[in-house]
Chains A and B, each alone.
Chain A
Amino acid sequence: MFLLGLFFLFSIPGRTQEVLGQASDKASGQTDSLVQLADFLKQIRQEKQVSFLYETGVVRSKVLRPPANLQRPLRQILQDILPGLGLEFIAIDAQNYIIKPEGYSVETLADKKAVRLLRGQLINGVSAEPLPGGSIQLPGLRQGTISDEQGFFQLELSADVEFIRISYLGFKTEFVDVRDRNQVTVQLTPLIAALDEVVISALGIPVARQKLAYAHTERSTEALAISGEANLVNALRGQVPGLWAMSSSGSPGAMSSMVIRGFSSITGNNAPLIVLNGMPVDNHVFGGGSNGIAPSNRLIDLNPHDIASVSVLKGASAAALYGIRAANGVIVLNTRRGSPEQMEVRYSSSIGVQLNNQLPPRQNEYAQGIFREGKAVYMGPESRVNSSYGPPLHSLVYDGASDYPYDQHGRLVPASQYDGQPARTYDPYETFFVPGWTQDHHLQLSGGRQDLTYYLGMGYFRQTGTSPYSSFKRLSLKGVFDLALSDRMTLSWQTHLSQSGGNRFRRGSMLSGIPLGLFRTPPSFDIGNGLRGKRAADAPSSYLLADGSQRAYRGNSRYDNPFWAINRNPFSDAVMRTLQQLTLTYQWSPQLKLTYRAGGDIYSDRREDAFDRYSGTHPRGYLEEQDLYFAGLNTDVLLQWQQHWGDSWTLDALAGYNAFYSLRRSRRTMGEELRQPGIFQMSNAVSVHQEEAEVHKLVTGVFADARLTYQDWLTLNVTARNDWSSSLEPGYNRFFYPGAGLSVQTKQWLPTAWDKTISSLRLRASIAQVGNDAAPYLTNTYYQPGIVDGDYYLPGTQFPAYGVSGMERSDVKGNKMLRAERAQTVELGTEASFWSNRLTLDVSWFYTKNSGQILESTLPAPSGFLRKTINAGSILNRGWEAAATLDWLNGEDLQAQTRLVFTRFNSLVADLPADAQGISLAAFSALSSVVTNNEPYGVLIGTSYKRNENGRRIIGYDGFPLVSEQQQIVGDPNPDWLLGLQQHLAWKRWSLDLALDVKAGGDLWNGTRGVMNYLGISRESGEGRTVTDYVFSGVTPDGEENNKAVALADPAAGMRGIYWRRYGFLGLAEAQVEDASWVKIRSLGIHYTLPLSLWDKGKRRLRIGGMVRNLILWTPYSGIDPETSLRSANEIMGWDYFNSPGVRSLECHIDLVF
């Protein structure tokens, strides 16, 4: 264990002394001619090849003017300098010298059997403050003592006692070797705070960073801008190398997703495992296709304020200990805990306002209408015409009819026919959107005694969106209690209760979606009927006609008026969640520790969904109630073993058993046709039917991890695990996977002259394997309630129907031969620090092959089945990632730190068999996301231009580009690289934080643009409408350069003459695929910290500040904020089809600690 802290009168390996020397160097800052005693001793040690043995406290903060002549004998030098510092020395031999305070006696250790007195001090290894009230015990005996106010203790023990146990709540328990010693200084490592040195690795076990053979990133939530952010995932964007975190939209509570080091599974799960204090936390997204609401990822139930730090374990090697669920990496969350030092009350609060940050550009010149008989003709709402190819608005006037339901000013008629009020131009964006509000409150109470610490957190978060009535709220309660039951046994209990949910509206390919109806509305129609925002939302006059049907720009049906949608198509969800975990540890002996952990993560999610009569999607009305239930039960038994051999070898070994059982259940009740409009109760539905699903799964595993360290510079780590999964058949359901890693500190081999530059240079390499099992129930063939279908255009009849129940065999064939997917990972990395840790650099390269993919192959229907799950295909992931931190300035008043995070990965598909080529992950009519050999994961395939062998577009004789007969790859949604930059500046009590995010490359299909062009509502189709001499670049079918000038929209040619309508409703997919690179100022915040008192070292404080999020977005993408995702599963990227826009926000917060 690093920093064991046994430094007095004990042969210290030279390197450890060095580290201490540096630490004190850093603390003291610059002094001209004076040097630190520790540094001076270090210098002598190197020059004269001797060792000094001392207690660190003895030399700390002692400075001296170094003697000019160092060539004199060492004894003379020491005699010159030490007495002035109140110190003296004893020469053990020519190479070893003890330095001790004057007058301290050093007992000779000749008589080992005698009872001896051990003296010592406990200090905080990070802050160097003494720790009062710590427990010092002799193992096996109920004998011990407690440290005094200065952390000092003394204890009588017999000479043959080898170890004492030092414990202090909130700190890592240490076993101190007291053989041959009678004075010790013990530096205890705080469990959370020591981020630089000790990291919480797999299974919640702290490990010295230098012993890790794989990349590991830990961020404290203090460093993440969590305030006012509902979803912890969003706070991780740009913060962790190798992690791609992405929000799907700016709607309240909308899901966010994460991928670590690329995509690893074709049809399986690609999301990392989330672990909270050693307990798995479900982060599932239920639902969320391309045509409904954007549900939440369930991590949203946790209050980010309860989290102290986030560790990210990447890749198979890091995750071997968590088993198959960790095949995609692990996000380890560590909650805040109490400390016995002081009771602390903290209140944090923020209030923010949000606005949409980018919306698709519209034309606001031309009215609803079509080209007919050679001219643009106005067609009003009663015509149900969907397009805006009508005449310019300035050529229209109102006829003043007061009974016209679609506009208060009357019908629009040509100005040439009537002398009325000129037509107005309505902007539906301005009419509909309102500012969204966020409030976030968090109150925490923490503290404790020596044997009990507690943390209690209460959070309330509420957000309203930029669509009126949309909202998300969360109420959460968290408790963490650590209790020492005896000197050997501790118990900790963590508990979480939350309630969350809100009102959500639909987006995407959905006639009742907000963006669809809103973005398509022509400028001649006023969706608010004279009102705006909240007032229009509250007034039925905006969306209702006298007969109770809908007032929309296409008459009373088809695309819903957004105000109708928010009033008459409500959707709400309500989640109740609890997480409970008990951890019992038992220290069997100094070497051996047992941990038993049992926990449960349980939630229910109730969703209510309604479409009133006259809605575009369900003209006769529709109701749906969905009850989802999840339970995840987890048990761990861990046995930890630590053994030292001599001074050089240490073994940290661990063996464990884990069982994880999960149950996911859903019950969906659907009511077709509402008898009475506006009554959203099942009893009002004409026919009601139900669907049920229940999925159970159990995974158990045994595992072992051994870490052998030599002299703190070499660590060899070997892991092995065997899992059994219930989702595979016996015989195929157990899989063993090993891993090995090596970490080497190479600094000692570098020339001494480089010491000033390179403080540390650690190299690491690891190789590991991990499995990924199948979803449950794929091995058997089932019968299920019958559905009568076979008709692409109609919904199927669901049994029970016609008064009887009906069953049929599923068209998915069970496969008893299914095996687990395998991932092999190689990782190489280095961690270096320069100029006394001013600059630290962490770079990793990795290669992963995920083979034997579990995927659905297609069977020909005459086999009686359509699909069968098989093992086939691979994904190769290659990439590298880096994090660099540079402390520019580290003065007392002024500090500046820059952190750069770089991520690059490439997920390539290979080895797919011929009948599984081009597996579609999801499809839309003009576009699909597929996996196909030798292409990146999830490339976009769609309709495209016809091209010749040189790749030039072929332009038809009519002057317009031709279409390729077959769909082609039109885009790759995977980013080329990601970069995050965090700049921290602090001046006295002021601090300024800037976070910048860059995503380079990655295509996004702007389906919204294709349709807005088709409908003539986009700015592009408005401005381009008058172009009459456009020449498309390309060649004619004869191979000549095309030079035919065409009109883009010639009324004489009718609707068929409009360029934007030539390629169908969605347009050519290739033409709508755009580069979705971006540079974002993710956040810019400024804070002022006001100490409330000076006597308690500044713990009591008030911090106030303000922050702007998404302040600036630079992107070539022409739609909404390109950080968007229509599909919930992170596997399907690169679709934007009437998705909800992103937001920018301004917030102010206060943080009070007392």
Chain B
Amino acid sequence: MRYHPAHSIFLGVSLFLSVSACDWQSINTDPIRRAEATLAEQLPVAEAQTVRNLSGQGGRLAGIIIQHFKGIDAQPESYSAYLIDEQASNTFWQSGLYTGAMKDCFLIMQQADATQDHAYSAIARILMACNLGILTVCWGDVPYQEAFVEEQPVYDAQETIYAAIQHLLAEAIDLLAQADSIPGEDDLIFAGDLSLWKKTAYVLRARYALHLTRRDPQAAERALSFLAKANYADLQTQPDFPYQAALNEANPLALFSIERPDQLALGTGLLELLQDKSDPRLPYLARSQERDWLIYDEDSSLFWTRTDTDYPLISLTEIHFLAAEAHLRQENLSAADHSFREGVRWHFRQMEIPPQHLEQWLLHLPDLREATSHDALREIIEQKYIALFAQGSIEAWVDYRRTGFPQLTVPDNANASFNPSLVIPRRFLYPISERTVNNRHWQAAVDRQGGQLLDQHLWSFFP
């Protein structure tokens, strides 16, 4: 072969390409996305998603069931008629809970446990407990022990889930005591104030203990002990998530009112309760339009549909009502009455309602010390039900199922397709994705609970 300059060009170029072609893996690594993320980057998403799970689609659905809301158009209207099918909660279950906040919490726990970042380990456990709480009160048996590990995780019995919630919170309290470094502004709720996280963990333990009043005779006692450890009476700060005015950072209920106006009104149950007693809070909760009370106002004057209204993981008003109920169940009537009034007071304060309304209203309220325990419980749960509007529909739904208060009427247009006995729904149907891609375990869970329709009782609240 004679030498020619072209030879070396060919040779050189071919060689260059073969060498550069060797490093396949670096080419197949996404330069924008990453293989890992820091704890400080993951925590804000976990917090925001957990609060969104309370305030978004799940909260609205529970709110419709418990008649905080009434759907007057489009899909909410069919939900109000109990056409809540296996499609309705699918996104909530998928991107909100399991691959949303719970996956985030699981990964933070895994990572922080390994690096001994106890503060992160603890906060992730508290958030995980909140999400498990949402799951189990909506669906009963849900996957947890095998979740995030197996591709098709089994479902755990609801009793196990409640135990897991308490266990997570107990672990969190221990870890908080050991924490040496603290998160900063990435902790959107408490900006790294671990003492507040500890109190939050205790009040949550109290909440989930009280969920089991129908199953656990010591429920009230446990709840009170947790509340005592939280020193709840001195609590001034609730775990608020700081929603902002910009649409991307807005309170979801406000966002819903902007994106889908004229779809939600005040629910019949809540409206009747407020109107019967001429409750001064009604005009602060909704605006009257023709036959309905819309939950938003175009000039954004209503508290809950302002884009920058904060949303609590658990509200101070709820904490006081929890205490009131626990005291009542322990037959400490004066403490119950005190906490009952504190609950109402905190609600007025939170809603920025002028104090003169509050004082008048407190006079209006019955004295629990003189009421029968049945009436006292009804009063507590009714006031709690009002206070939980837009910030705790899921908890109000729990209260209804375990106490029967407030009294609600099934709407005339209720559809029996998923609710054959036409009761106030007691659970959600499992989402369609579980039926189709986790069928074996889904079937076992449905069989174990005796069905999955809306009128099927959950173990926890079964009378």
Tell me if B428 is interfacial: C-beta within 8 Å of chain A: no
Which chain B residues in 419-435 approach chain A with CB under 8 Å?
A: 431, 433-434
Tell me if A743 is interfacial: C-beta within 8 Å of chain B: no
Q: Are B99 and A811 in contact (CB under 8 A)?
A: yes
* Chain A residues near B245 (CB-CB < 8 A): 686
* Chain A residues near B237 (CB-CB < 8 A): none
* Chain B residues near A195 (CB-CB < 8 A): none
Contact string against B for A residues 654-676, beta-carbon threshold 8 Å, 1 for contact and 0 otherwise = 00010100000000000011000
Q: Are B53 and A783 in contact (CB under 8 A)?
A: no
Tell me if B24 is interfacial: C-beta within 8 Å of chain A: yes
Which chain A residues in 672-703 approach chain B with CB under 8 Å?
A: 672-673, 686-687, 689, 692-698, 700
Q: Are A598 and B13 in contact (CB under 8 A)?
A: yes
Q: Are A790 and B53 in contact (CB under 8 A)?
A: yes
Q: Are A672 and B91 in contact (CB under 8 A)?
A: no
* Chain B residues near A727 (CB-CB < 8 A): 28
Q: Are B30 and A790 in contact (CB under 8 A)?
A: no
Specify which of A637, A776, A784, A865 is in contact with B10 (CB 8 Å cutoff).
A637
Smallest CB-CB separation from B154: which chain A residue? Answer: A862
Tell me if A32 is interfacial: C-beta within 8 Å of chain B: no
**Which stretch from B142-150, B162-170, B200-208, B348-356 is at the chain A interface?**
B142-150
Specify which of B14, B27, B437 is in contact with A915 (CB 8 Å cutoff).
B437
* Chain A residues near B30 (CB-CB < 8 A): 694-695, 776-777, 780, 782
* Chain B residues near A868 (CB-CB < 8 A): 151
Interface size class of A (residues with CB under 8 A): 35 or more
Smallest CB-CB separation from A596: which chain B residue? Answer: B10
**What's the minimum C-beta distance from A227 to chain B, rounded to whole angstroms?**
40
Smallest CB-CB separation from B52: which chain A residue? Answer: A788
Q: Are A811 and B34 in contact (CB under 8 A)?
A: no
Contact string against B for A residues 206-229, beta-carbon threshold 8 Å, 1 for contact and 0 otherwise = 000000000000000000000000
A782 to B34, CA, bound (A): 5
Which chain A residues in 578-599 approach chain B with CB under 8 Å?
A: 584, 586, 594, 596, 598
* Chain B residues near A697 (CB-CB < 8 A): 27-28
Tell me if B343 is interfacial: C-beta within 8 Å of chain A: no
* Chain A residues near B100 (CB-CB < 8 A): 788-790
* Chain B residues near A700 (CB-CB < 8 A): 17-18, 21
A672 to B438, CA, bound (A): 39
Q: Are B24 and A635 in contact (CB under 8 A)?
A: no
Specify which of A594, A802, A860 is in contact with B249 (CB 8 Å cutoff).
A802
Tell me if A795 is interfacial: C-beta within 8 Å of chain B: yes
* Chain A residues near B42 (CB-CB < 8 A): 786, 806-808
* Chain B residues near A862 (CB-CB < 8 A): 98, 142-144, 146-148, 153, 438
Contact string against B for A residues 825-844, beta-carbon threshold 8 Å, 1 for contact and 0 otherwise = 00000000000000000000
Specify which of A586, A728, A808, A864 is in contact with B45 (CB 8 Å cutoff).
A808
Contact string against B for A residues 585-622, beta-carbon threshold 8 Å, 1 for contact and 0 otherwise = 01000000010101000000000000000000001100
Tell me if A799 is interfacial: C-beta within 8 Å of chain B: yes
**What's the minimum C-beta distance from B61 to chain A, rounded to whole angstroms?**
10
Q: Are B37 and A808 in contact (CB under 8 A)?
A: yes
Q: Are A777 and B91 in contact (CB under 8 A)?
A: no
Specify which of A698, A803, A809, A859 is in contact with B24 (CB 8 Å cutoff).
A698
A558 to B98, CA, bound (A): 35
Q: Are B248 and A791 in contact (CB under 8 A)?
A: no
Q: Are B436 and A915 in contact (CB under 8 A)?
A: yes
Q: Are A693 and B104 in contact (CB under 8 A)?
A: no
Tell me if B260 is interfacial: C-beta within 8 Å of chain A: yes
**What's the minimum C-beta distance from A930 to chain B, rounded to whole angstroms?**
13
* Chain A residues near B363 (CB-CB < 8 A): none
Tell me if A858 is interfacial: C-beta within 8 Å of chain B: yes
Specify which of B58, B244, B247 is in contact with A620 (CB 8 Å cutoff).
B247
Q: Are B148 and A788 in contact (CB under 8 A)?
A: no
**What's the minimum C-beta distance from A395 to chain B, rounded to whole angstroms?**
27
Q: Are B21 and A797 in contact (CB under 8 A)?
A: no
Q: Are A807 and B37 in contact (CB under 8 A)?
A: yes
Tell me if A861 is interfacial: C-beta within 8 Å of chain B: yes
Tell me if A810 is interfacial: C-beta within 8 Å of chain B: yes
Q: Are B147 and A863 in contact (CB under 8 A)?
A: yes
**CB within 8 Å for A806 and B44 given contacts A657-B14, A915-B437:** yes
Q: Are A786 and B45 in contact (CB under 8 A)?
A: yes
Which chain A residues in 715-737 approach chain B with CB under 8 Å?
A: 724, 726-730, 733
* Chain A residues near B46 (CB-CB < 8 A): 808
* Chain B residues near A810 (CB-CB < 8 A): 33
A416 to B204, CA, bound (A): 67
**CB within 8 Å for A799 and B44 given contacts A858-B433, A864-B106:** yes
**Which stretch from B216-224, B251-259, B316-324, B399-407 is at the chain A interface?**
B251-259
Q: Are B37 and A698 in contact (CB under 8 A)?
A: no
Tell me if B56 is interfacial: C-beta within 8 Å of chain A: yes
**CB within 8 Å for A860 and B153 given contacts A782-B33, A790-B53, A797-B52:** yes
Smallest CB-CB separation from B74: which chain A residue? Answer: A793
Q: Are A790 and B248 in contact (CB under 8 A)?
A: no
Specify which of B14, B146, B437 is in contact with A858 (CB 8 Å cutoff).
B437
**CB within 8 Å for A783 and B94 given contacts A860-B437, A865-B99:** no
Q: Are A777 and B434 in contact (CB under 8 A)?
A: no
Q: Are A790 and B48 in contact (CB under 8 A)?
A: no
Contact string against A for B residues 178-197, beta-carbon threshold 8 Å, 1 for contact and 0 otherwise = 00000001101000000000
* Chain A residues near B25 (CB-CB < 8 A): 729-730
**What's the minimum C-beta distance from B57 to chain A, rounded to whole angstroms?**
4
* Chain A residues near B92 (CB-CB < 8 A): 790-792
* Chain A residues near B24 (CB-CB < 8 A): 698, 724, 726, 730, 733
Tell me if A804 is interfacial: C-beta within 8 Å of chain B: yes
Which chain A residues in 281-315 approach chain B with CB under 8 Å?
A: none
* Chain A residues near B383 (CB-CB < 8 A): none
**What's the minimum C-beta distance from B154 to chain A, rounded to whole angstroms?**
9
Q: Are B258 and A790 in contact (CB under 8 A)?
A: no
**CB within 8 Å for A807 and B34 given contacts A637-B10, A802-B244:** yes
Among the interface residues A692, A779, A807, which one has the most CB atoms of the partner chain B within 10 A?
Answer: A807
Tell me if B6 is interfacial: C-beta within 8 Å of chain A: yes
Specify which of A687, A791, A801, A808 is in contact with B252 (CB 8 Å cutoff).
A791
Q: Are B188 and A802 in contact (CB under 8 A)?
A: yes
Which chain B residues in 246-285 approach chain A with CB under 8 Å?
A: 246-249, 252, 255-256, 258-260
Tell me if B97 is interfacial: C-beta within 8 Å of chain A: yes
**What's the minimum C-beta distance from B292 to chain A, rounded to whole angstroms?**
16
Tell me if B114 is interfacial: C-beta within 8 Å of chain A: no
* Chain A residues near B93 (CB-CB < 8 A): 861
* Chain B residues near A659 (CB-CB < 8 A): 17, 21
Tell me if A866 is interfacial: C-beta within 8 Å of chain B: yes
A802 to B255, CA, bound (A): 16
**CB within 8 Å for A860 and B433 given contacts A791-B92, A803-B185:** yes
Tell me if A798 is interfacial: C-beta within 8 Å of chain B: yes
Tell me if B369 is interfacial: C-beta within 8 Å of chain A: no
**What's the minimum C-beta distance from A926 to chain B, rounded to whole angstroms?**
13
Q: Are B41 and A806 in contact (CB under 8 A)?
A: yes
Smallest CB-CB separation from A812: which chain B residue? Answer: B99
* Chain B residues near A27 (CB-CB < 8 A): none
**20 additional A-B residue pairs with CB within 8 Å, beyond A637-B14, A730-B25:** A596-B6, A620-B247, A697-B27, A779-B28, A780-B28, A783-B41, A786-B49, A789-B91, A789-B96, A789-B100, A793-B259, A793-B260, A794-B256, A795-B247, A803-B185, A811-B103, A858-B436, A860-B152, A861-B97, A862-B147
Closest 8 CB pairs of A and B: A790-B96, A786-B45, A860-B438, A807-B37, A861-B98, A782-B33, A687-B246, A862-B143
B-to-A contact residues, CB < 8 Å: 4, 6, 9-10, 13-14, 17-18, 21, 24-25, 27-38, 40-42, 44-46, 48-49, 52-53, 56-58, 75, 90-100, 103-104, 106-107, 142-144, 146-148, 150-153, 185-186, 188, 242, 244-249, 252, 255-256, 258-260, 431, 433-434, 436-438
A-to-B contact residues, CB < 8 Å: 489, 584, 586, 594, 596, 598, 619-620, 635, 637, 657, 659, 672-673, 686-687, 689, 692-698, 700, 724, 726-730, 733, 776-777, 779-780, 782-784, 786, 788-795, 797-799, 801-811, 858-866, 868, 915
